[in-house]
Amino acid sequence: MKKTKSRLWPLFNQWVSLKLLAFLVIWSGGACLYAQSGRLVEGTVVDSKQEPLYGVTILVKDKPGVGVITDFDGRFSINLAPEDNELVISFLGMTTQTVNVVGKSTLSIVMVEDSKIFDEVVVVGFGQQRKESVVGAISQTTAKVLERTGGVSSLGQALTGNLPGVVTMTTTGRPGEEDPEIVIRGVSTWNGGDPLVLVDGIERPMNSVDINSVANISVLKDASATAVFGVRGANGVILVTTKRGEEGRANIDVNYTSTFKTYSKLPPLMDSYDALLVRNQVIEHELPYKPDVWSYYLPYERIHKYRYPANQQEYERYPNVDWIDELLRDYATSHNANINVSGGTKFAKYYVSLDYTHEGDLYKDVNNNRGYETGFGYDRINVRSNLDFALTKTTTFKLNLSGSHGVKQGTNYNQYENLAWSAFYGIAPDAFRPKYSDGSFGYYQPNPTQASTNSMMDVSVNGHGFTSEERLNTDFVLEQDLGFITKGLKAHARLAFDNSFNEVNRGVDDTNDWEDNPQMWIDPEDGSVYRNTDQDGNYKFDFKNNNAWMTGAGTVDIGQTYRRMNYSGQIDYNRTFGSHTVGVMGNVSREEYSRGSNLPIYRENWVFRTTYDYLKRYMLEYNGAYNGSEKFAPENRFVFFQSGALGWMFSEEPLFKKLNANWVDMLKFRLSYGQIGDDRTGNPLQEFFPENRWLYIDRWASGGRFRQGLNGVNGSDGPYDWYYEANIGNPSIQWEVSTKLDIALDYAFFNGALAGSLDYFTENRTNILLAGRDRAIPSYFGATPPRTNMGEVDTKGYELELRWNKPIAYDWRLWGNVFYTHASNKIIERDDPELLPEYQKQANKAINQARTYVDYGYFNTWDELYASTAHDALDAERMPGNYIILDYDADGVITSFDQVPYGFSNVPQNTINFQFGLDYKGFSGFVQFYGASNVTRSVGLQGLGGVRNTVFDEGSYWSKDNVNADVPLPRWQVQASDYTNGTRFMFDGSYLRLKYAEISYTFSKEPFMQRLGLTSLKLFVNGNNLYLWTEMPDDRETNTGGWSAYPTQKRYNLGLRLSL
């Protein structure tokens, strides 16, 4: 029985503690660098407050490796050769200095803070802000971090573990479909928690961007940061900014990665030998209930043949199939190549990129003798051109052109593809050979349907389909500096057009053949051979496969043909008046988008942001958005959302400075509060459905006829179609409203060696749309009730971020980070029927709370069974060794009313990321762990069942000699009630994985570099999803997956990055 309390996290916490202890020991100790002998120069290094600085690096110019570092009193001494004339003094967060030492024996050096460090900008909604003045909850990552993500082709996958508060959940490993589900700070609605994704300011799918083209990604999490997005920002916002050119010579970057990948983890299945021994044990246990079950009992001599066949004939008669080995390669290959050119002049700057990705297939090639190849795969080409033209000294025109062409390959002509991987969960190893020596595919003749399909045949003979996706995005941006009116005033206008086009069903259609594919089965009882066909389907002669497949030229998928137009105007004003800095932003935008032949959906947004900063000490921000959406009635069509935020740079207070706490670089308190909305009425593919689009009006449809015959209850229909009310409208329907609070502390210590933040957040989501079928309205109402805004959910949690970056000696640097996020939710209102018992209501539970029947031990004897609570179904089939099920409602019988909340929901409450890196000269290496806890998953690894000899390795089975076993025996012929399994298939979904690891070397000034014309060359070996610790039977991060998904993968990569 699997319990949800994880044993992994205490071990992980101990591991982290040891690592941090080792890190602090190294970090706090000094390190000495060697120096050449010669004349002696001594000195001290202090900051602007005359405080000594420890750990300052003193290097001899043009002599790598020759130098020292200062002690705790800021002192140093160094021996110099006669030709040594200059020293280079550097320290994190300070401006590097070059000091002439000719004729000097004593130096006194004052380090100055590097203003560039504090002027770092963060991308926010509709603009940028200095990092030190940001008062919203915003996390940002850069291209350098994303490039280390182990060869993944999905930008969404690259976010995993790199941004606090962001939870990613992989649903499939199929090439081209590896984008994860993304949740920011937990789930607050049952209507979908996907965040809003903007690429260069326009809503676009994240998979349309290749990783190499990304400059940075910002995640906006609180009301202050997301309020300007109004009705779209309730679930958080992800801002993707692509790279642009800079003035200077042309810089050519070439990146190439070659990947070897394999499956991560699949459920452990017993082979035929062990499975049949378990079946014998089950049969012995069921004999008192059903004596004729003995006919299925197999002697050991026959079972032995499954594992140890004497010849080819026995090998086929007694199958022992390892479906993983039969279907999957040891590894598949993938490749990514990217070349980009950037540079520019004062008039024009450019960034041009070409990216190619190939994702190979883990499935083996099978010769189907039908003239076409099968399998899965994905190929994508991305192109991008970002151009900036300085039309005048104050006018800039920007043109962004990007496009992608992606082709996914699949089997079954894109139908029922899950059959291709169901073998890992359902096909018994003794049922049949995947393919026999005569070329026939196997099947289970006694019961072909219940014994499951032949996955090898499904991969091989059901056609080969291609799905292509074309995207073209165009942005025109005009920026005007209006400083001639007043300093700090700017304006810009944007016009964007996006189009996508999908083609499906191109390829080989082998699903409409008039005859069956030849299959056979050998009866292990007597060796008889059975075939599903022995005649030609057309002429009735001896069978000859006619290979009657057809080719398809492809058709347009109307539902995926997409177009969007967005146009906006914006004005910005930022100016400093002495100790006061003020900022104002106003933006007006309108967009229309549609799929297929649907009428466009329209949105209109009027937003503003005001900021105030006094002495970089006190910060104030106020945001608002006035949004309009056609989805609601005229009186509810427009709404105003607003938020405010305060910031206090406590470390800049005169009182704090008097404390001489020089080890404190920054202490900033942040507080934000506000409201945002969500106008989504269905998932993106369903928002054009009439029942989701115009919820405020009644919808009528036609179809069906009234029986008007006079000859009884089954009389003939009348001649006229009926018109009927298909959906009842609700004119009061409106937005979901999210009220968010964020209280936070940002900190930095020891001259930037340690930095991070701590956030506490809450969210109250009200007016959540509730489907009519979920409302507490009796069935005699006569129709499906209309949707209404009746739901309410509370979410709360906290985030911890700790980063370190510490030079410990010349050319040595320790760096890394720890992110930890906790987010939990509770339903306050979901229109539960008033008389339902509390445990059956959804209120006061988490969204998608797991539920099951609770077990507490076994019936070990007949006396214990007779004394236990009866089941209301199949009670006579209970037997010793079954779980004792809790009669939760204490009514004296186990019924469906005894199913109770159990464990957690399907979204992890806790996520953690730990990264540790070490750099030495050109060498760099790091490891990154990512984990999740407080999550429950249901994985129905049901074995046996009277047809299939499928037995999963679940540990030890109950017997009268082992009453403390892991799980009960499965059933064969005696059927058990639905309650009997208890918590058997409820798993603790916690996991910890070695998400990334890399070792690299960067060449920069080696002589051969100049000869080759290279400015930089990086060679690396890295990996993704390398190792997994979990109690789950397979590698899945959502409740989908398993038999419904292509296996998730681990990757090993070799690559290079060079610059010309």
Neighbours of 252 (CB within 10 A): 15
Please give the pLDDT value at position 948.
83
CA-nearest of 271, 440, 177 to 1040 is: 177
1005, pLDDT greater than 80:
no
* Structural domains of the chain, ranges and CATH numbers in brackets: 31-114 (2.60.40.1120)
- Mean local confidence (pLDDT), 154-175: 86
- Report CA 645 to chain centroid distance, whole Å: 30
In degrees to the nearest 10, what's the CA dihedral of 163, 164, 167, 172?
Answer: 30
Where is 865: in which H helix or E strand? helix 862-866
Q: HEC profile for 663-678?
A: CEEEEEEEEEEEEEEE
Higher pLDDT pick, 1045 / 57: 57
Please give the pLDDT value at position 564.
93
Please give the pLDDT value at position 874.
93
- Report CA 313 to chain centroid distance, whole Å: 48
Neighbours of 663 (CB within 10 A): 11
- Mean local confidence (pLDDT), 430-440: 91
CA distance 317 to 310: 11
Please give the pLDDT value at position 36.
39
Neighbours of 715 (CB within 10 A): 11
- What pLDDT, in 10s, does the model give residues 264-292? 988 899 999 999 999 999 999 999 999 99
CA distance 949 to 269: 10
Please give the pLDDT value at position 539.
58
- Mean local confidence (pLDDT), 296-315: 94
DSSP 635: G
Q: pLDDT class for 629, splitting at 50, 70, 90? A: confident
CA-nearest of 331, 2, 274 to 1033 is: 2
Q: HEC profile for 41-94?
A: EEEEEECCCCCECCCCEEEECCCCCCEEECCCCCEEEEEECCCCCEEEEECCCE
- Mean local confidence (pLDDT), 553-572: 90
Q: 589: which 2 tokens?
A: 């935008």
The strand pair at 39-46 and 106-110 is best described as parallel
CA distance 1042 to 1036: 7
691, pLDDT greater than 90:
no
- Mean local confidence (pLDDT), 421-433: 86
Q: pLDDT class for 154, splitting at 50, 70, 90? A: confident
39, pLDDT greater than 70:
yes
Neighbours of 576 (CB within 10 A): 12
940, pLDDT greater than 90:
no
Contacts of 948 (CB under 8 A, 6+ apart): 426, 427, 428, 431, 450, 451, 452
Q: For 325-334, 374-383, 514-523, 623-632, which range has the lowest pLDDT when averaged over its residues?
A: 514-523
- What pLDDT, in 10s, does the model give residues 386-398? 999 999 999 999 9
The model carries a pTM of 0.85
Please give the pLDDT value at position 26.
37
- What pLDDT, in 10s, does the model give residues 192-217? 888 999 999 899 988 888 899 999 99
Q: pLDDT class for 769, splitting at 50, 70, 90? A: very high
Q: What percent of the chain has pLDDT over 90?
A: 51
- What pLDDT, in 10s, does the model give residues 262-271? 999 888 999 9
- Report CA 494 to chain centroid distance, whole Å: 31
Contacts of 449 (CB under 8 A, 6+ apart): none
CA neighbours closer than 13 Å in the CB half-sphere of residue 701: 7
Q: pLDDT class for 230, splitting at 50, 70, 90? A: confident
- Report CA 451 to chain centroid distance, whole Å: 34
797, pLDDT greater than 60:
yes
Q: pLDDT class for 1029, splitting at 50, 70, 90? A: very high
Please give the pLDDT value at position 258.
94
Q: Between the CA of residue 598 and those of 686, 725, 1036, what are the distances in Å?
A: 12, 22, 36
Q: Which amino acid would we find at residue 447?
A: N
* Sheet with strand 519-522: strands edge to edge: 441-442, 519-522, 529-531
Q: pLDDT class for 455, splitting at 50, 70, 90? A: confident
Please give the pLDDT value at position 4.
40
Please give the pLDDT value at position 457.
86
27, pLDDT greater than 50:
no
22, pLDDT greater than 60:
no
- Mean local confidence (pLDDT), 117-124: 58
Q: pLDDT class for 125, splitting at 50, 70, 90? A: low
- What pLDDT, in 10s, does the model give residues 866-921? 999 999 999 999 999 999 999 999 999 999 999 999 999 999 999 999 999 999 88
Q: pLDDT class for 449, splitting at 50, 70, 90? A: low
342, pLDDT greater than 80:
yes
Please give the pLDDT value at position 81.
85
Q: pLDDT class for 555, splitting at 50, 70, 90? A: confident
Please give the pLDDT value at position 710.
58
Where is 936: in which H helix or E strand? strand 936-938
Residue with tokens 């290959």: 333
- Return phi, psi of residue 327, to 5°: -100, -35
- What pLDDT, in 10s, does the model give residues 657-685? 888 888 898 999 999 999 998 888 777 77
**Mean pLDDT value across the chain:** 86
- What pLDDT, in 10s, does the model give residues 715-751? 677 777 788 888 899 999 998 999 999 999 999 998 8
Q: Between the CA of residue 557 and those of 375, 376, 463, 466, 563, what are the distances in Å?
A: 22, 20, 19, 12, 14
544, pLDDT greater than 70:
no
- Mean local confidence (pLDDT), 920-939: 92
Please give the pLDDT value at position 434.
92
CA distance 498 to 591: 11
